[in-house]
Amino acid sequence: MSDGAVADDAGDAEHAGAGSVRVVGTAHVSQESVDEVERVIEAEGPDVVAVELDEGRFRQLKGETPDDLDAADLLQGNTVFQFLAYWMLSYVQTRLGDRFDVEPGAEMLAAVETSEALGIDVALVDRDIQVTIQRFWARLSSLEKLRLLGGLAFGVADPFAVGATVGATVGLFAALVAGAVGGAPLVPPSTPFPGVADAILTGALVGFGAALVLGVGLRATAPSEEATTAETLDPDELTDTDVVTAMMEEFRRFSPGGAEALIDERDAFIAHKLVALRDAGNHVVAVIGAGHQAGVEDYLATPETLPPMAELVGRQESSRFSVYKLFGYLFTLGFLAFFVLLATAAYTGVPGASSGLLVRLFAAWFLVNGLLSFGLAKLAGAHWSSAGVGGAVAWLTSVNPLLAPGWFAGYVELRYLTVNVADIGTLNDLLDDTETPVPELLGRMLDVPLFQLIVIVAATNIGSFVGSILFATVLIPFLFAEIGGTAEIVRLMLAGARNSVDLIAGGLL
């Protein structure tokens, strides 16, 4: 076996320049494709059989141990989202395989096994799936990412049920904030416990609105019934190309830019590998998906139009404007300004400011972030050391938009979990179970290491987020109550700003 190159260099030199490529376009879920692959390889007797696989998927298809998740990858930020995107792609293909009664990837396995039986070299000509998924995610806009994740949720539950769940969560936060900061009362003062009742009513209204908006939005952006290929297409009326084309066009509907990474870039990458094999003088049978056949054959006919290989590999950074990052940077700037100005006020002797107040503020920040991150991580099933690390760094990561405590908790948790690509297939099987009650199904999903890791990472991050909200809406007003409340905060910060200007001006003069 070789990865895009043939091991027999002497044979290459003997036939250099006299090679050819026979492309066999297959549907990844068609038994006819499996039979055709075997017939063509046996009839052609090629020097090399090239298959649309990378090293990781090749070993997985052969039943070897899948790649474990590298702990360092978790700290790069998008690992969870890349797995979720890969999860959805795998789930769609698995559903098609169930529908058409053939194992996805069977034609690639048939090509490999037939080649090995005939003593023919096998070349892996596809790009690493992790590179493809990362580049796919980087090209999505914020709306496209929401639609993609919404599509995954839509495959699990009704969009209005998803909206209701998220709405209830939003309502809980709204009730918490309303109870902390008050505002225009929504219930008569004569109502028993008016503050609590007002907070509950506020949360209910906000939660209902969020549920309605999200439910309608997910319904609007979810694939229509006509576009759900696995449920509406009749296998007796389809050609192989129809199946794959329908899948590819579905991804283009979600995101033209993302589909370019999934389809167009891979066309060029595969063609690069095949041109190199052909130029080395080999007669090649290339087994690729029908959705790639037209693009690859165009490049084989006009190889001078191929983009440089350097543009098709490596990590791609998103060039899109990120509202999330902007909000994160502004929050970080505001947090630093808050503490720096208060510290300046205390240092310059502004009445009401003191080092003791700063110590209490920092201690409150550390404790509320740490305890909530630690607690939610433990509830999610994290080990003590993992939850402890997440809680210990929560105070710092909650003001840095490029970090999150869940990544650190997940990093430590990987000492106890073995996460690999096979977990995605397990989750697909569980999600395809429509008879098991939801609580039992959720329990089974939590037994899958990948899902358990995602839940721990998410729970730790949610704890830090809730801690930041509580610090701003509850603890700051409480700590400043004895010296005049929130109005006093503004006075101290303005005084600190003026004194900072005076100190800087004095140092320059």
HEC per residue, 63-128: CCCCCECCHHHHCCCCHHHHHHHHHHHHHHHHHHHHHHCCCCCHHHHHHHHHHHHHCCEEEECCCC
Q: By CB neighbour count within 10 A (0-12 exposed, 13-18 middle, 19+ buried), where does 143 fall?
A: exposed
Find the Cα–Cα–Cα–Cα dihedral 308, 313, 319, 324, rounded to 10°: 170
Instruction: Provide CB contacts within 8 A for 149, sequence distance 6+.
Output: 84
CA-CA distance, 383 to 386, in Å (whole number)?
A: 5
Closest to 94 measured CA to CA, from 389, 369, 433, 330: 433
Q: What is the DSSP letter of 52?
A: S
| Amino acid (1-letter code) at residue 353 | A
Question: Do residues 432 and 95 touch, judged by C-beta distance below 8 A?
Answer: yes
**SS3 (DSSP) at 30:** coil
Measured in whole angstroms, the distance separating CA 112 from the mean position of its chain's CA atoms is 31
DSSP code per residue over 196-214: HHHHHHHHHHHHHHHHHHH
Give pLDDT < 50 ranges for the chain: 2-16, 156-158, 165, 176-187, 190-199, 203, 207, 223-245
CA-CA distance, 204 to 172, in Å (whole number)?
A: 8
| Amino acid (1-letter code) at residue 195 | G
- Rg, Å, the chain Cα set: 29
Q: What is the pLDDT of residue 298?
A: 94
- Residue pLDDT, tens place only, 335-384: 777 778 878 877 777 777 777 777 888 888 889 999 999 999 999 999 99
Closest to 408 measured CA to CA, from 77, 52, 67, 54: 77
Instruction: Provide CB contacts within 8 A for 310, sequence distance 6+.
Output: none
Q: Which two tokens stand for residue 360?
A: 């209490």
Residue 20's DSSP bridge partners are: 283
Beta strand 283-289 with 121-124: parallel, antiparallel or unpaired? unpaired
Residue written as tokens 């769940």?
165
Helices (H), 159-264: 159-181, 194-221, 229-232, 240-254, 256-259
DSSP code per residue over 316-385: ----S--HHHHHHHHHHHHHHHHHHHHHHHHHTT-TT--HHHHHHHHHHHHHHHHHHHHHHHHHTT--HH
Cα of first residue to Cα of last residue in the chain, in angstroms, is: 74
Distances (CA, A) of 185 to 8, 108, 111, 196, 486: 81, 65, 71, 11, 20
Q: What is the pLDDT of residue 350?
A: 75
Question: Going edge to edge, which strands form the sheet with 20-26?
Answer: 20-26, 283-289, 48-51, 121-124
Domain ranges of the chain: 9-136+238-311, 141-222, 321-508
Instruction: Provide CB contacts within 8 A for 179, sequence distance 6+.
Output: 195, 196, 198, 199
Helices (H), 353-475: 355-379, 384-397, 405-413, 422-431, 438-446, 449-470
Neighbour count for residue 17 (Cβ, 10 Å): 8
Question: Do residues 452 and 446 touch, judged by C-beta distance below 8 A?
Answer: yes
Backbone region of residue 129 per phi and psi (left: phi > 0; alpha: psi in -120 to 50; beta: other values): alpha
Q: What is the pLDDT of residue 116?
A: 93
Q: What are phi and psi of 280, to 5 degrees?
A: -80, 0
**SS3 (DSSP) at 28:** coil
CA-CA distance, 464 to 452, in Å (whole number)?
A: 19
Helices 129-138 and 265-279, axial angle in degrees (round to 10): 140
Residue written as tokens 């091991």?
7
Question: Do residues 466 and 391 touch, judged by C-beta distance below 8 A?
Answer: no
Residue 285's DSSP bridge partners are: 22, 49
